Structure 1
Amino acid sequence: MRKFLIVLSGARPEILERCPTDRGKFEGIGGAVLTTSVLATISMSFALGSALGLSYFVAVPAGILWGLAILSLDRWLVGSIPAEGRRRWRLAVPRVLMAVLLGVVISTPLVLQIFKTEIDAQIVEIRQERANAFTTERMKGDAGKELIRLRAAVAEQENIVASRGEKAQDPRNDPRFKALTAERDAQQKQATKHYDELQCQLYGGPGCSKKGDGELAQASRDAMNKAKKRVEELNKQIDARKKELTASDKQARATRLESATEQLKELRPQLAAAEEQQRTLQSSFNDENESLNGLLIRLRALNEVSGKDVTLNAARTLLFLLFLLIECLPVAVKLMQKPGNYEKLFEMEARKELMEARTGMRVAARPAPDGAQGRRTTRQIWDAESALDQPPPDPTVVGPPTVLDDPQEHRPGPLPEPLPEPLSESLSGPLSMPHEFGGMEDEALRGMAGTRAPAVSNAARPERTRARNLFPDDDD
């Protein structure tokens, strides 16, 4: 478990093993990161299960995935904050803001779950208010007004039928009376229009090119008289219909009963259709209103219920701040701790890795060796070393004088470079080289035991001279 907490803290275990005193610090940071991820898992599970109504078989796995995401983010936030330096707080500010944002997102579902009872009661009130507002708006609309008119008309006609025509009928609800009245009003407007045209034709005005009692004036006068005559006829019919509706004799009662029966046959289907339309609208609204149980309406209910109760508002604020503090705990713990031995070793390790990377880049950037130099075989290296081991010439032997034009010309050249050391001390066999640096004979030479006699020490060697030794000593 401790190793797991150290991994969550973002520390490198191989470096932390050298600093046992710093393990507790990083275990605490890892515990804070783990606590944050657990709360995030619970919060998302509540949000998906209670607020969105999903099954917990779906909400819990989704909450676990959310918790793992928060775990990764918190681990990155903790690991990316420098241990010390001038840039520490400047780099920490955006990370602290991100931690606060994550804390707000994670803590909100937890607060909603704690105040679930109060929120559910407030949601019921919100639904009732929405239902009342919908009913009011529905009745104020055209469909609502038409429904009210049809209900009143049906009720009046039913009263007339129930009284067998004894009850007088309101002429304003009689279809024939309303039709006659509407036609009379239209004819009255036509008569007024033709009268204005006649005045324009007789006395001039806008739209009249000539004035006088001509053909146009006569046509306007005839149309006006015709409309007035029709208005008078309609007024007589309206008066007669009104008397029929308000009369109390036997014939009037029979007429009202017959009229009411005929109107009911027309009004009742209209009323049924209007009521069915209103029921459909109401049912659709009720389904929508009952389904309002999401996160937004729960937040609204929490705001409303906390605004009415000071104690509830204070408790909500304290719980929110508590969960927010827990969510910001990993970053806060990282910022409050002082750098220790781990940070120093980590910096040294980082510098070492940088130096090794630079060295590797320089070696890789060097040009490849020449073909003639890169193909030196083991036999050539053997011959070069054998030449160095030859004994010096005998100074007692006199040879022909040698004329040296340039003393520098016969000086011995630089010694060949020694063979590279073995890559590992554990290798006891002969140095293995790829075949591209020699043939099969070189492989045989490398497997042979050394037969060369040890070189003569400097004390036993005679002094070198420039004369040649014609009879060298036998080394055997």
Structure 2
Amino acid sequence: MLKQFFILCSGADTNILDNCSNGEQNKYAGIGATVFFTALMATIAASYALYTVFDNLYTSIGFGLVWGLLIFNLDRYIVSTIKKRNSFLDELLQAAPRIFLAVIIAVVISKPLELKIFEKEINQVLLEQKNDLTLANQNQIAQQFNPKIAELEGQILGLQNEIDAKETEVNALYDTFITEAEGTSGSMKLGKGPVYKEKREKHDTALAELQQLKTDNKAKITTLENEIIALQGDYKANVSESQPIIDNFDGLMARVTALGTLPWLPSFFIFLLFLAIETSPIIAKLLSPKGEYDYKLEDQETVIKSWVSQQVAERQLLVKTDNDINNKVYTEIADEEEVMNYKRKKARELMQHQADAFLKKQKGVL
């Protein structure tokens, strides 16, 4: 039962192969087993690759089965269409396009399995890439908010400098009226005279202005600080909203790209393994001698080819003979007087009808 199933997978004509030896049947059963297991590996590889895309087990298995059946059909077609010839060079030229197609299939099958085999290494590469993307994303978002925050901080610094300058002025006026009272500067008279009172009034006026300036600037500074806090909140919100995109940066394309950054030699050996599996049925048919099945298949095909060639030749001869007879008949009829008179009569009637139609058309134009 299993043998018959693998023979069916090989694409061989079971009606012919049933009449062949066991050795010939085993050869095609081996070829069919290779085709079947290649399709099985393709199903597993495609299911894993699609799972990284859809993140759904049942969907991935469903599409994986479809892909496996497609590969199975292609491999079965490739093997079944290779015919044994009398020249190895003719067989090689016949198999060349099929080998090229087998290489493409091997690449497609091996890549998802490489992603699974080197999953830990790929995860490490993706982690490094995510960290770089996170820092780059934070810097890009910061470039949108930092200029405005710096501008607001500059305004706060300017307001604080105004307060500091006014405080320096008030302190200087304070020292002036104190030293005036002590008699160490100004009028150099001890006591609180008119000059002292004048300087004291200037100090008190400046002190009142300082208090008002502090009140006004404190309110402005508070407003500016609230704007800075709001901008910082917007910055954190933007970072939080964009971070999930970076965290999900582990799809199929990202993993394939990460795989490309790893050393190529291990991946190349895996590719060679699947290439050997994929091309083994073709190579086996090329290297194997022309067997009993091949002779019987050639006999069956040549019988049909000969019958078709014979039918085509007979039809061509029939057409040629019929044309020769028709030419001879029409040549003999052309010399008969009765036919000439009849043609002349009909030609005269046709010319009269044309003249009448032309006259009628001209009258309509006038």
Normalization by structure 1: what TM-score? 0.53
Alignment partner of 1:81: what SS? Answer: coil
Partner of 1:130: 133
Structure 1: how far apart are the matches of 2:265 and 2:63?
32
Structure 2: how far apart are the matches of 1:342 and 1:258?
106
Deviation of the 1:77 alpha carbon: 1.1
CA offsets per residue over residues 358-383 of structure 1, 9 Å max, x none?
5566788979xxxxxxxxxxxxxxxx
Q: Which has the higher helix share?
A: 2
1:330 matched to 2:321 = no
1:23 matched to 2:25 = yes
Q: Is the 1:245–1:252 contact (alpha carbons within 8 Å) kept by the matching residues of 2?
A: no
Partner of 2:269: 318
Q: Is the 2:83–2:294 contact (alpha carbons within 8 Å) kept by the matching residues of 1?
A: no
Structure 2: how far apart are the matches of 1:336 and 1:152?
83
Where structure 1 has 5 or more consecutive residues not aligned to the other structure, the ranges are: 161-168, 172-240, 308-312, 368-476
Partner of 1:286: 243
Aligned pairs, how many? 279
Report which structure shows greater RCO (CA 8 Å, sep ≥6): 2
1:170 matched to 2:161 = yes
Partner AA of 2:259 in structure 1? L
CA offsets per residue over residues 155-177 of structure 1, 9 Å max, x none?
x59xx9xxxxxxxx235xxxxxx
Deviation of the 1:82 alpha carbon: 2.7
Partner of 1:449: none
Alignment partner of 2:138: what SS? Answer: helix
Deviation of the 1:339 alpha carbon: 1.7
Normalization by structure 2: what TM-score? 0.68
Deviates more, 1:125-134 or 1:314-323: 314-323
Deviation of the 1:288 alpha carbon: 0.8
Partner of 2:95: 92
Deviation of the 1:3 alpha carbon: 1.6
Deviation of the 1:153 alpha carbon: 5.2
Partner AA of 1:303 in structure 2? G
Alignment partner of 2:243: what SS? Answer: helix
Partner AA of 1:94 in structure 2? P
Aligned pairs for 1:423-442 (under 5 A) are none
Q: Is the 1:44–1:109 contact (alpha carbons within 8 Å) kept by the matching residues of 2?
A: yes
- Runs of 4+ displaced beyond 4 Å: 151-154, 358-367
1:61 matched to 2:52 = no
Q: Is the 2:106–2:271 contact (alpha carbons within 8 Å) kept by the matching residues of 1?
A: no
Structure 1: how far apart are the matches of 2:308 and 2:167?
111
Aligned pairs for 1:32-431 (under 5 A) are 32-49=34-51, 51-84=52-85, 85=87, 86-139=89-142, 141-150=143-152, 169-170=160-161, 243-244=165-166, 247-249=169-171, 250-251=207-208, 253-304=210-261, 306-307=262-263, 314-358=265-309
Structure 1: how far apart are the matches of 2:169 and 2:258?
62
CA offsets per residue over residues 117-153 of structure 1, 9 Å max, x none?
22222211110111112222333x3432213443565
Partner of 2:180: none
Deviation of the 1:246 alpha carbon: 5.1
**Distance of aligned partners of 1:340 and 1:268 in 2 relative to their CA distance in 1, 3 Å threshold:** same
Partner AA of 1:29 in structure 2? I
Q: Is the 1:33–1:330 contact (alpha carbons within 8 Å) kept by the matching residues of 2?
A: yes
CA offsets per residue over residues 8-32 of structure 1, 9 Å max, x none?
2121011112221311111111011
Structure 2: how far apart are the matches of 1:329 and 1:361?
40
Structure 1: how far apart are the matches of 2:222 and 2:146?
21
Q: Is the 2:54–2:60 contact (alpha carbons within 8 Å) kept by the matching residues of 1?
A: no
Q: Report the structure number with the largest CA radius of gyration.
A: 1
CA offsets per residue over residues 318-377 of structure 1, 9 Å max, x none?
22322332233332323222221111111110011223445566788979xxxxxxxxxx
Partner AA of 2:125 in structure 1? Q
**Distance of aligned partners of 1:246 and 1:28 in 2 relative to their CA distance in 1, 3 Å threshold:** farther
Q: Is the 1:244–1:255 contact (alpha carbons within 8 Å) kept by the matching residues of 2?
A: no
**Distance of aligned partners of 1:149 and 1:350 in 2 relative to their CA distance in 1, 3 Å threshold:** same
Deviation of the 1:88 alpha carbon: 1.9
Where structure 2 has 5 or more consecutive residues not aligned to the other structure, the ranges are: 172-206, 320-366
**Distance of aligned partners of 1:358 and 1:150 in 2 relative to their CA distance in 1, 3 Å threshold:** same
Partner of 2:7: 6
What percentage of aligned pairs have identical amino acids?
Answer: 26
Structure 2: how far apart are the matches of 1:332 and 1:252?
100
Structure 1: how far apart are the matches of 2:126 and 2:63?
26
Over aligned residues, Cα RMSD in angstroms?
2.8
Alignment partner of 1:170: what SS? Answer: helix
Structure 1: how far apart are the matches of 2:169 and 2:83?
102
Alignment partner of 2:19: what SS? Answer: coil
Q: Is the 1:170–1:245 contact (alpha carbons within 8 Å) kept by the matching residues of 2?
A: no
